[in-house]
Amino acid sequence: MQFPLKYDFRDVLAAPAAALSAKRIFVMTLFLCAALAVYDVFTYLALIADGEKISGAGSVYGAFPFDTFQFDSMAAATVFWIGVIAAAIVVMMGLFATAAFEIESIRGHRFMGIKCAVGFALKRFRQMFLSHLSIVSFLLLILLLVVLYGLIGRIPGIGEWIFSIFFLIPGFILAIFTVFIVLVLIVSIILLPAVAAADRNGETFDSILETFSTIIRQPVRWALYTAFSGVAAKVCGFVYAYFCFRAVQFLTWGGSIGGGEKITELVKSGVNNLPVRADLAQYTFNIFAGVGWGVDVAQWARGNFSDSPVSYVMAFMLFLIFASIFGYMFAVIATAQARAVVIIRYLKDDYKISDEKPLFFEEEHVNPKINE
């Protein structure tokens, strides 16, 4: 690694700077866009299954159908939640690929390519999917045992006695253990990709074991590192968003000098095709939610609306710039998680991942010096 790790909070403190990399932002943005596409497809399929017309739903939600949907049929709700889970898995793949950049850099390979990172994430899809499936399956098994335990209460005469006697042990102990597993399942959405990226062999059991070990043996340290990465991602993301806004503003102003007023109108027509007044846009261009300190993007939507093909092309380009803001924010979280995994692994196991050889780089063979 270019700068040796200190194996303390200072390493996580530098995560926003390490995440400010074109290839990390690009890869994370790519997976976020893919996750949005998956979510859109399943959401509209759910709306169709619920009896909604695709044209009406499209005019209301567009490409960003973020709402608290209330479906009338179980089939539509099932399709929707399958889409949510699939989109979350795609985001995890992006977190994995971004964390892989950092893990390989820690191992000494600072020039891992985009194609290599994406291919590595796709190759390890099975590992992350089976890891989560194993945890969910274990939770379902516990749920089945609890249901069977409840059926004991139906036994005439002694059922309620048995239920009461075993309510504390093992009933309550099992319930506490189940709540902990549910908590691990939730936090594994951001932790497991980094753990899997640091695993050389791609074993499902190893990633599950290391995830639980991190949470059990270093819970406070991991929580502090994660909390910092979330705050840093938002603050640094706001700074990145501000520079993006000023860059678009400068490009539009400079282009209008040579191309005339139609350049400004073109950009405004593109902005008009995006939900710049939505809560998500307001959240992105303000330093924190509820704090009125940020950039008013909606002022660019005061031009005439245009549905010409070129305005949609402009809207798509502006959307990619907007998506890159979240790409950077998620890259900060993924990089911080990768560094947290390395630090915690050293503190609890006295093992340095930095001493491992890179997975995707082999030093050239150098012949030994010949003595004259």
User: Tens digit of pLDDT for each residue in 289-310?
Assistant: 767 777 777 777 666 666 788 8
CA–CA separation, 46 vs 83, rounded Å? 9
Backbone φ, ψ for residue 286 (5° rounding): -120, 145
Backbone φ, ψ for residue 365 (5° rounding): -70, 130
Contact criterion met (CB below 8 Å) for 196 and 124: yes
At 135, is the pLDDT very low, low, confident or very high (cuts 50, 70, 90)? very high
Contact criterion met (CB below 8 Å) for 286 and 238: yes
pLDDT at 3 over 70: no
CA–CA separation, 192 vs 212, rounded Å? 10
Separation in Å, CA 15 to CA 21, 107, 157: 11, 16, 62
At 150, is the pLDDT very low, low, confident or very high (cuts 50, 70, 90)? confident
Domain assignments of the chain as residue spans, ordered by start: 9-355
pLDDT at 367 over 60: no
pLDDT at 365 over 70: no
- 3-class secondary-structure state, position 190: helix
pLDDT digits (tens, 9 = 90+) for 266-288: 888 888 888 777 778 888 888 87
pLDDT at 99 over 60: yes
Least confident of 61-65, 194-198, 368-372: 368-372
Task: Say what angle helices 173-198 and 74-106 make with each other, to 10 degrees.
Answer: 50
Separation in Å, CA 27 to CA 22, 34, 157, 194, 350: 9, 11, 63, 15, 32
Mean pLDDT of 348-360: 89
